[in-house]
C-alpha cells in the first residue's frame, strides 16, 4: 500500500499544473527576437507565394545579395511587372539603326534630300563626262548640308569643249534613321535623332520642329544655288 500524499504536497501539484496550463495558453506580446527563425526551421516549400501578403516584404527587408540570377525562375519577371518608368524607357530605347542611300545626278550641281524621318550623315561625290556628252569635270564641293548633301563640278579647263555640257555631278547621301523597341521611329531634331516624346511632349515643340525642317530644306537649296552660280561663273570664264 502506497503511503498517502500529504495534503500540502497535493495542493502544490494542482497549483503547478494550473500555472503551466495558463502559460501554455497565453500569447507573448513583448518578445524581441532577431533571427530566431532560420532557414533550417522551415520545411521545404513551407512558405509559398499565397502565404505572403502584398506589401509584407519591403525592399529594406531583403539583403543586397539575397536575390540572384540563379534564384529567379525563367519568365517569372515579365515586362508587365516592371515599373512604368522602366517600361517606358525600354519601349523608347533604340532597337535598330538603319541607313538609306539617296542619289542624284545633275549637270554641274547635284543634290540629294534625305527622307523626312532621317538625318544626313555623309556624302559621296563624283564628276562624270556623261558618256561623252559633257566635259570632264573637277569636283570643287562635296558636303552634307541641311537635310541632305550636294556635289558641284567645274568644267575641266585643259579639255574644255564649249559645245559640250558642263560635267555631270553625282552625289550619294547616306541618311541615318532609328527605331524604338516598340517600333516607333525616332525623329530628326537640331540635336540629332530623338524619341518622339522629346518633340511632342513639349509646348510648341511641333511648330518649332516644323520650322527647323523648313530651315534645313532651305539651307540645302541655298547652298546648291550658290554652287550653281560658281560653276556657271567658271564656265563663263572658259568661254571668254
pLDDT digits (tens, 9 = 90+) for 31-41: 667 667 777 76
- Containing H/E element for 189? strand 187-189
Residue length of the chain: 240
Is residue 220 predicted with pLDDT exceeding 60? Answer: yes
Mean pLDDT of the chain: 80
Q: 129 or 19: whose pLDDT is higher?
A: 129
Residue 75: what pLDDT? 62
Res 188: pLDDT: 85
The residue that leads in pLDDT, 159 or 32, is 159
pLDDT at position 181: 79
pTM recorded for the entire structure: 0.62
Query: How would residue 1 be classed by pLDDT, with cut points 50, 70 and 90?
Result: very low
Q: Are 134 and 128 spatial neighbours (Cβ–Cβ below 8 Å)? A: yes
% of residues, the chain, pLDDT over 90: 43
Of 130, 122, 124, whose CA–CA distance to 106 is shortest? 130
Q: Which residues contact 145 (CB under 8 A, 6 or more apart)?
A: 120, 219, 220, 223
- Looking only at the bridges linking them, the beta strands covering 94-107 and 109-113 are unpaired
Q: Any idea which residue has 558641284 for its cell?
A: 152
Alpha helices in the chain (DSSP H): 7-25, 84-92, 196-200, 205-239
**Domain parsing of the chain, residue ranges:** 94-239
Amino acid at each position: 500500500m502506497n503511503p498517502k500524499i500529504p495534503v500540502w504536497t497535493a495542493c502544490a501539484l494542482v497549483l503547478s499544473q494550473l500555472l503551466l496550463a495558463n502559460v501554455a495558453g497565453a500569447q507573448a506580446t513583448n518578445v524581441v527576437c532577431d533571427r530566431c527563425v532560420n532557414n533550417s526551421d522551415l520545411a521545404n516549400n513551407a512558405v509559398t507565394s499565397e502565404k505572403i501578403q502584398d506589401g509584407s516584404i519591403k525592399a529594406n527587408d531583403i539583403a543586397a545579395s539575397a536575390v540572384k540570377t540563379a534564384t529567379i525562375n525563367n519568365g517569372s519577371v515579365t515586362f508587365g511587372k516592371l515599373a512604368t518608368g522602366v517600361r517606358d524607357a525600354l519601349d523608347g530605347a533604340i532597337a535598330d539603326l538603319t541607313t538609306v542611300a539617296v542619289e542624284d545626278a545633275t549637270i554641274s550641281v547635284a543634290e540629294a534630300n534625305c527622307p523626312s524621318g532621317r538625318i544626313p550623315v555623309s556624302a559621296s561625290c563624283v564628276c562624270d563626262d556623261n558618256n561623252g556628252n559633257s566635259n570632264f569635270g573637277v569636283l570643287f564641293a562635296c558636303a552634307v548640308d541641311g537635310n541632305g548633301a550636294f556635289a558641284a563640278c567645274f568644267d575641266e579647263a585643259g579639255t574644255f569643249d564649249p559645245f559640250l555640257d558642263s560635267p555631270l555631278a553625282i552625289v550619294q547621301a547616306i541618311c541615318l534613321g532609328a527605331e524604338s523597341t516598340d517600333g516607333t521611329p525616332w525623329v530628326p531634331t537640331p540635336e540629332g535623332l530623338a524619341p518622339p516624346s522629346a518633340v511632342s511632349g513639349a509646348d510648341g515643340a511641333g511648330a518649332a520642329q516644323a520650322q527647323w525642317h523648313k530651315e534645313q530644306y532651305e539651307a540645302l537649296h541655298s547652298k546648291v544655288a550658290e554652287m550653281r552660280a560658281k560653276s556657271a561663273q567658271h564656265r563663263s570664264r572658259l568661254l571668254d
